[in-house]
Amino acid sequence: MSKEITSRATDYSQWYNDLVLKSGLADYSAVRGCMVIKPYGYTLWENMRDVLDKKFKETGHVNAYFPLFIPKSLFEAEEKNAEGFAKECAIVTHYRLKNDPSKPGKLMVDPEAKLEEELIVRPTSEAIIWNTYKTWIQSYRDLPLLINQWANVVRWEMRTRLFLRTAEFLWQEGHTAHATKQEAVEETEKMLDVYAEFVENYMAVPVIKGLKTANERFAGAEETYCIEAMMQDGKALQAGTSHFLGQNFAKAFNVQFLNKENKQEFVWATSWGVSTRLIGALIMAHSDDQGLILPPKIAPLQLVIVPIYKGEESKAVIDAKAHQIMQDCKRLGISVKYDNHDNTRPGWKFAEYELKGVPVRLAMGMRDLEQNVVEVARRDTKEKQTMSLDNVAESIQSLLEDIQQNMYNKALAFRNERITKADTWEEFMQLLDGKGGFIAAHWNGKPETEEKIKEMSKATIRCIPLNNKQEQGKCILTGEESSQRVLFARAY
């Protein structure tokens, strides 16, 4: 089987596609722009989901589920939001098929079964959720309302990319209602911190927290907070967003409550989400030409044991030792697989588990057992070492922690090297076309300038970092006065 993957340097897109397809994370599907997430990829998503879900609950949220379909009239209630998504909606117009009289054995849409009102397949759930919240919220005592849902959404994108942009994707979307503006803003910032903490500490991908400019803001939001990550090709990726929605949705759906002074007020809202796109970020931030490199904390499989044997006798001896190690590892909460299948040889297995990004591999033969040692290979650095079999599970546990930290440090160093200041347009373009990465540059704050820069350079303002340093300077394009640098980059 050809499992060779294209080199990063040759063709970054092809390298990425090869990684996703050949590592067993996902497949193309029969539906254009959609993707099949295979068990290995789905387990990864489940691991990520479990960590996030726990964090949401720790911060007072509960899960619920709202319908996939949104009646058009509800969808269009918040005008900016509707307009923002209008161009990428899948729409249900009929509810029945019938036999096609002109083509035996074929079906056709029954024109008699036209829906009175079209249903929009949710591209995001604000509309249906706020229409529901309206009936749940009457008093300040009903607030805050802190709900999350794990769901799929559909955005009919013109161009798709595995994990990064598929027509249907899995995500979580939190939707909260608050009595005061301040509380809602705090919620927005709190959830951004939850995301940043997760992406950095679990995915080992450093992020920059910041605010979106008006151009890049979520349709219907007052303020969009985001975390921005850096991929190995120097392009940025938005890894998560948290929106302060003001009273926009409350007004559109008439969600009011009686405050302590017995006065009607509109609630203040937030929404926040991360998606399976994070898996794309994970792949592009860490992997190499041998395959995926997955951070131990969320890897579907943390340890694989490969036996090397000659004949049934030695196999039995190694099997016994391997099972013992497995028991010890499982006791420490390490996910482990013993691959003693006879249909592939050790070399094949080594390459296969490297492709799949398993953080640690043990290779164990009679030669090792006789000396009470085992060969340990770590995926991140590809280093091999010989380790004593005494307390091997504990050694592996600390090695996993070391790998997690090392991956983060490496990604952080890479990212930090790629934040560069530019003070002239020439410098700016030169950096974009060469080194890539984030470019810290002055901007006059005007949307039309941002738009012009985007047209000329294909770079967008990724964010205005939180707690940004104030510094006088001149706009990179117009030369007008500016009080701070913002981060530009070409992005996914």
- Of 345, 409, 433, 481, the residue at the interface with RNA (CB under 7 A) is 345
Residues facing residue 242 across a β-bridge: 225, 272
SS (H, E, C) 313-380: HHHHHHHHHHHHHHHHHHHCCCCEEECCCCCCCHHHHHHHHHHCCCCEEEEEEHHHHHCCEEEEEECC
Q: Select from 307, 326, 327 the least CA-distant residue to 369.
A: 307
Among 69-77, 202-210, 275-283, 462-470, which window interacts with RNA (CB under 7 A)?
A: 275-283
| Both tokens assigned to 210 | 């910041």
Residue 173 binds to RNA (criterion: CB under 7 A): no
Residue 351 binds to RNA (criterion: CB under 7 A): yes
Cα 37 to the center of its chain, rounded Å: 14
- Of 9, 112, 158, 469, the residue at the interface with RNA (CB under 7 A) is 158
Number of residues that bind RNA (CB under 7 A): 61
Tokens 């990550």 label which residue? 229
Residue 305 binds to RNA (criterion: CB under 7 A): no
Give the footprint of RNA on residues 124-143 (CB under 7 A). Answer: none
Residue 17 binds to RNA (criterion: CB under 7 A): yes
Q: Which residues contact 103 (CB under 8 A, 6 or more apart)?
A: none
Helices (H), 86-179: 126-136
Number of H helices, E strands in the chain: 14, 26
Residue 200 binds to RNA (criterion: CB under 7 A): no
Residue 167 binds to RNA (criterion: CB under 7 A): yes
Provide the mask over 230-259, with x wherever binding to RNA is found by CB under 7 A and - wherever it is not: --------x--x------------------
Amino acid, single-letter form, for residue 25:
L
Size of the chain in residues: 492
Residue 387 binds to RNA (criterion: CB under 7 A): no
Residue 342 binds to RNA (criterion: CB under 7 A): yes
Residue 355 binds to RNA (criterion: CB under 7 A): yes
Q: How far apart are CA 14 and CA 3, in angstroms?
A: 13
Residue 161 binds to RNA (criterion: CB under 7 A): yes
Residue (170 or 258) nearer to RNA, CB: 170
DSSP states along 240-277: EEEEEEETHHHHHTT-EEE-TTS-EEE-EEEEEEEETH
Residue 434 binds to RNA (criterion: CB under 7 A): no
- Of 346, 387, 444, 474, the residue at the interface with RNA (CB under 7 A) is 346
| Residue 189: CB atoms within 10 Å | 17
Amino acid, single-letter form, for residue 357:
G
Residue (280 or 300) nearer to RNA, CB: 280
Q: How far apart are CA 61 and CA 449, in angstroms?
A: 40
Q: How far apart are CA 433 and CA 435, in angstroms?
A: 7
Among 50-58, 172-180, 259-267, 269-277, which window interacts with RNA (CB under 7 A)?
A: 269-277
Residue 377 binds to RNA (criterion: CB under 7 A): yes
Residue 272 binds to RNA (criterion: CB under 7 A): no
Residue 414 binds to RNA (criterion: CB under 7 A): no
Residue (157 or 423) nearer to RNA, CB: 157
- Of 3, 54, 98, 330, the residue at the interface with RNA (CB under 7 A) is 3
- Of 363, 439, 486, 489, the residue at the interface with RNA (CB under 7 A) is 363
Among 95-103, 181-189, 308-316, 389-397, which window interacts with RNA (CB under 7 A)?
A: 308-316
Q: How far apart are CA 466 and CA 479, in angstroms?
A: 24
| Both tokens assigned to 45 | 């998503």
Give the footprint of RNA on residues 205-224 (CB under 7 A). Answer: 216, 218
Residue 375 binds to RNA (criterion: CB under 7 A): yes
| Both tokens assigned to 472 | 């006088």
Binding residues (CB under 7 A) for RNA: these are 1-4, 13, 17, 28, 30-33, 87-88, 155, 157-161, 164-167, 169, 216, 218, 238, 241, 275-277, 290, 308-311, 342-348, 350-352, 354-355, 363-368, 375, 377, 382, 384, 458, 491-492
